């Protein structure tokens, strides 16, 4: 997404745990568009204090922040009651508690500015419950979608916008070992679809639009036996 936003001329504030990748990405983005500014910072989103300090540092550095994308997540875990509580808890903590901290930090800045665009990256799995490794993952994404909607209601009719993106399956490190995935797209295709959706600032986006904007309605009413075959 950073590369796609660089093409569009957006200044970028990038944060993640692996700083060597951030530094390389910064160079790539500046090669794509030398006219933009790119700042990087090391951040583990599970460190609440660091989330607030890094976001505030970026706000001070750039003067203001137009958009914050809450994107960090993981998919560790297994069926509940099969001995993988620690892995399930890690997913719950990173995907929801850490996302809450990022939303809190972002909205603190946006309320102060009386302007901004909060984007949360949920999942198509937020529509229903899933089994095995998807059980906790889907639950956290449902929680994130609900959290985002609550924030959206809070700032309704203000200059602050809230978008929740629900991607379908995009080939990334989180699912690189999964062989059979329905309607999966490559990373570039998925990121381009996400960026196009984000720039429109809708309340909710389902990407890629085909087939997920349609399939979400199917998932909402599908019998449990059908969902079991999917996961």
Report d(CA 65, CA 87) in Å as an integer.
34
Torsion of CA 158, 160, 164, 165, to 10 degrees: 130
Q: Which residue has the tokens 């070992």?
A: 177
pLDDT tens-digit series, residues 198-227: 999 999 999 988 888 898 999 899 899 888
Known active-site residue 85? no
Task: Write down the pLDDT at residue 84.
Answer: 97
pLDDT for the residue 168: 85
Q: Give the 3-state secondary structure of residue 193.
A: helix
Give the model's confidence band at 154: pLDDT under 50 very low, under 70 low, under 90 confident, else very high. Answer: very high
Cβ contact 2:69 at 8 Å: no
Q: Where are the domains of the chain?
A: 66-230
Task: Please report the pLDDT score of residue 172 as a whole number.
Answer: 74
How do residues 78-135 score in pLDDT, each as one tens digit? Answer: 999 999 999 999 999 999 999 999 999 999 999 999 999 999 999 999 999 989 989 9
- Mean pLDDT of all residues in the chain? 93
**161: burial class by Cβ within 10 Å (0-12, 13-18, 19+)?**
middle
pLDDT at 15: 97
Q: At 176, is the pLDDT very low, low, confident or very high (cuts 50, 70, 90)?
A: low
pLDDT band at residue 194 under the 50/70/90 scheme: very high
Q: What is the pLDDT of residue 136?
A: 97
Q: For the segment 39-68, what is each residue's pLDDT rounded down to a tens digit?
A: 999 999 999 999 999 999 999 999 999 999
Superfamily (CATH) of domain 66-230:
NAD(P)-binding Rossmann-like Domain (3.40.50.720)
Consecutive H or E run containing 30: helix 19-32
With b for 16 or more beta-carbon neighbours within 10 A and e for fewer, the 16-48 pattern comes to beeeeebeebbeebeebbeebebebbebebeee
Q: In the chain, what percentage of residues exceed pLDDT 90?
A: 81
Q: At residue 31, does pLDDT exceed 80?
A: yes
Note the pLDDT of residue 171. 73
Tell me what pLDDT residue 202 has: 98
φ/ψ of 117, rounded to 5, equals: -135, 110
Return all residues near 130 (Cβ < 8 A) that are at least 6 apart.
137, 138, 227, 230, 231
pLDDT at 175 over 60: no
Q: Whole-model pTM? A: 0.92
Of 96, 137, 206, 212, which is the active-site residue? Answer: 137
């Amino acid at each position: 997404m950073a590369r796609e936003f660089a093409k569009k001329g957006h200044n970028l504030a990038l944060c993640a745990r692996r700083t060597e990748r951030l530094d390389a990405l910064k160079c790539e983005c500046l090669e794509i568009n030398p006219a933009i500014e790119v700042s990087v910072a090391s951040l583990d989103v599970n460190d609440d204090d660091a989330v607030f300090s890094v976001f505030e540092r970026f706000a001070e550095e750039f003067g203001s922040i137009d958009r914050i994308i809450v994107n960090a997540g993981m998919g560790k875990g297994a069926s509940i009651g099969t001995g993988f509580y620690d892995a399930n808890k890690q997913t719950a903590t990173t995907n929801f508690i850490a996302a809450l901290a990022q939303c809190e930090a972002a909205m603190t800045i946006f309320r102060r500015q009386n302007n901004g665009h909060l984007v949360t990256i949920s999942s198509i799995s937020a529509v229903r419950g899933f089994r095995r490794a998807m059980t906790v993952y889907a639950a956290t994404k449902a929680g994130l979608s609900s959290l985002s909607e609550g924030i959206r209601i809070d700032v309704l009719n203000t200059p602050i916008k809230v978008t929740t993106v629900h991607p379908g399956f995009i080939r990334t490190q989180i699912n690189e070992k999964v062989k059979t995935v329905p309607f999966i797209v490559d990373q570039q295709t998925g990121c381009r679809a996400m960026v196009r959706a984000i720039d429109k600032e809708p309340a909710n986006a389902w990407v890629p639009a085909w087939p997920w904007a349609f399939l979400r309605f199917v998932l909402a009413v599908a019998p449990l036996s059908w969902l079991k075959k999917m996961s």
